[in-house]
Amino acid sequence: MIKLFYIIFWALTICSCTSVRYVPVETVKTEYKTRDSIRHDSIYQRDSVFYMVKGDTVYKYKEKYLYKYLFLNKTDTVLKVDSVQVPYPVEKKLTRWENAKIKVGGWAISFILAFVLTVAVWLVYRRIRK
């Protein structure tokens, strides 16, 4: 029973050691946004005609309705294409000197070094002169 346990343990241990597999990430993202707007535009108009003649009675009463219903459909579509930054693992970490160069900057280090050399030359020249 113990031998079977050791065999299973070592088989699982050996099989579990694999290399890192990176999951592919979408680099370009396309997004569609569509907005529909429907407007109800209606016209209601009433027209009436009325005749009346005095004496001999003539009545003409006529109503006319005008209905006009319109549905205005407007569709707005926005297409947005965006590039997604894919993070990659760092293979080699920066040294302390490289980090310092990045933080301070190459030009600043050059100016400081030139200033220190100028002061050192000035001090040496002053001691030689005395």
Task: Supply the pLDDT for residue 130.
Answer: 76
CA distance 130 to 127: 5
47 part of a folded domain: yes
Average confidence (pLDDT) over 6-15: 80
Instruction: Report yes or no on 9 lying in a domain.
Output: no
Mean pLDDT of the residues in the chain: 77
User: Considering the domain boundaries, does residue 19 fall inside one?
Assistant: no
Amino acid at 1: M
Q: Is residue 20 part of a domain?
A: no
**24 phi and psi, to 5 degrees?**
-65, 135
In a domain, 54, yes or no: yes
Give me the pLDDT at residue 51, please: 64
For 16-45, how does the pLDDT look when each residue is reduced to its tens digit (9 = 90+)? 666 777 777 777 777 888 877 777 666 666
More confident residue, 27 or 70: 27
Domain count across the chain? 1
Question: Cα–Cα distances in Å, from 70 out to 31, 36, 74, 124?
Answer: 32, 16, 13, 95
Its domain, for residue 92, covers 26-129
5 within some domain:
no
pTM over 0.95: no
Does residue 79 fall inside a structural domain? yes
